[in-house]
Structure 1
Amino acid sequence: MLQHPQQLYEYHVWANDQLFTHLEQLPKDVFHAEVTSVFPSVSKTFGHMYLYEKLYMSVLAEAPNEEIFPKIPGWAEEAQGKTVDEMRRLFAGVAEQFRDLLRRTPDPDKAMTIEHPKYGRLDTHFSGILQHVVNHGTYHRGNVTAMLRQQGYAGVPTDYLFYLIERQEGQR
């Protein structure tokens, strides 16, 4: 059985994959269509999610801010103008990097201190930041669903419960 933080991360990957599979079935212009929402398009929402996946992975790997912050523009650029399939491949790559980090982290509840130049110091745990990554993804998948509905398309269920049911059925 997966440890709980790892299972939550696998849910996050599954939920993103569910949404990518759904998007691949819709007209191509839906991904880049401008809408009035938190972000101007579905693709820009995924670009934001990708940037923060990379950022939080670096935080969890305990890279110093001086190493992380200069990379942010490059991560943002990597996700610009991508197709659904190209974006899916970016997410698959970062998921493998996250899984590698999880394998190399024997104690997912280890204490961490994060220093942010604007928001200050946070004493937390690896698992707490990983939970934030999952919550961040859930929030923005909800944004994408609203954007799809604005364009006349249904969303796709990505609830944690559906992941657990699918996983259980796969083990039978």
Structure 2
Amino acid sequence: MNAQILEYHLWANQLVLNHLKNLPGEICFQQVQSVFPTLYDTLYHMYQVDYVWLRALKGDSFEKIIEGVNQLKEENADRSMDQLEEDLLQLGKKYHEFIDGLENLNETTVVNHPRFGTLTTTYFELLQHVVNHGTYHRGNITAVLRQLGHKGVPTDYVYYLYEKANFEADI
């Protein structure tokens, strides 16, 4: 099944990362009054949540997912933007592998959470959640950039569609 929504999410994240590379390097670690204390922390949170939901989509237990998140924290202790970008790229590849292995994104899956209980939903709906979460935080990043005197980068879905249409027209 077409996973264009995932392509959009990965495209938008990379667009933000590319934009940040063109700004002063220290900006990603500058303390701000926002949802997260730095832009890096916002991006890292997005990475963690994408990691959590991939594991949930694969049917991993809550306990195993938490173990994995704790391991991620240890592995990312140096807070490197280059490493975070690579980790996001690799995670995107893992999402592709998982989705490519599904017959249908509208298949039902079950997620068990110790606090929220059992949720029966589709893979697509959970993927939609991942994308919505990313969109929310990309908006946070844009707001912080404006506070710091820099422009954000447009990551609305329609921009992705236009870029994709223009790319396909050039082929």
TM-score normalised per structure 1: 0.94
The residue number in structure 1 matching 2:87 is: 90
For residues 61-100 of structure 1, what are the structure 2 equivalents within 5 Å?
61-100=58-97
The residue number in structure 2 matching 1:18 is: 15
Q: CA deviation at 1:130?
A: 0.3
Question: 2:92 matched to 1:120?
Answer: no
Q: RMSD value over aligned CA atoms? A: 1.2
The C-alpha deviation readout for 1:40-69, integer Å capped at 9, x for no partner, is 000000111111111100001111223212
Asked if the contact 1:31–1:43 (Cα under 8 Å) also holds between the matched residues in 2, the reply is: yes
Q: Distance between the aligned counterparts of 1:72 and 1:83, measured in 2?
A: 17
**Structure-2 change in CA distance of 1:17 and 1:82 (3 Å):** same
The residue number in structure 2 matching 1:154 is: 151
Letter of the 2:5 counterpart: L
Number of aligned residues? 169
Q: Distance between the aligned counterparts of 2:77 and 2:47, measured in 1?
A: 10
Unmatched segments (≥5 aa) in structure 2: none
Letter of the 1:27 counterpart: P
The residue number in structure 1 matching 2:55 is: 58
The C-alpha deviation readout for 1:8-53, integer Å capped at 9, x for no partner, is 0000000001101100000001000000000000000011111111
The residue number in structure 2 matching 1:109 is: 106
Letter of the 1:34 counterpart: Q
The residue number in structure 1 matching 2:27 is: 30
Report the 3-state secondary structure (helix = DSSP H, G, I; strand = E; otherwise coil) of the residue aligned with 1:171.
Answer: helix
TM-score normalised per structure 2: 0.94
Of all paired residues, the percent bearing the same amino acid is 36
Letter of the 1:127 counterpart: F
Q: CA deviation at 1:70?
A: 1.4
Q: Distance between the aligned counterparts of 2:110 and 2:154, measured in 1?
A: 35
Q: Which moved more, 1:60-69 or 1:134-143?
A: 60-69
Q: Distance between the aligned counterparts of 1:133 and 1:38, measured in 2?
A: 18
Q: CA deviation at 1:80?
A: 4.1
Letter of the 2:117 counterpart: G
Asked if the contact 1:50–1:91 (Cα under 8 Å) also holds between the matched residues in 2, the reply is: yes
For residues 2-17 of structure 1, what are the structure 2 equivalents within 5 Å?
3=2, 6-17=3-14
Report the 3-state secondary structure (helix = DSSP H, G, I; strand = E; otherwise coil) of the residue aligned with 1:56.
Answer: helix
Asked if the contact 1:112–1:126 (Cα under 8 Å) also holds between the matched residues in 2, the reply is: yes
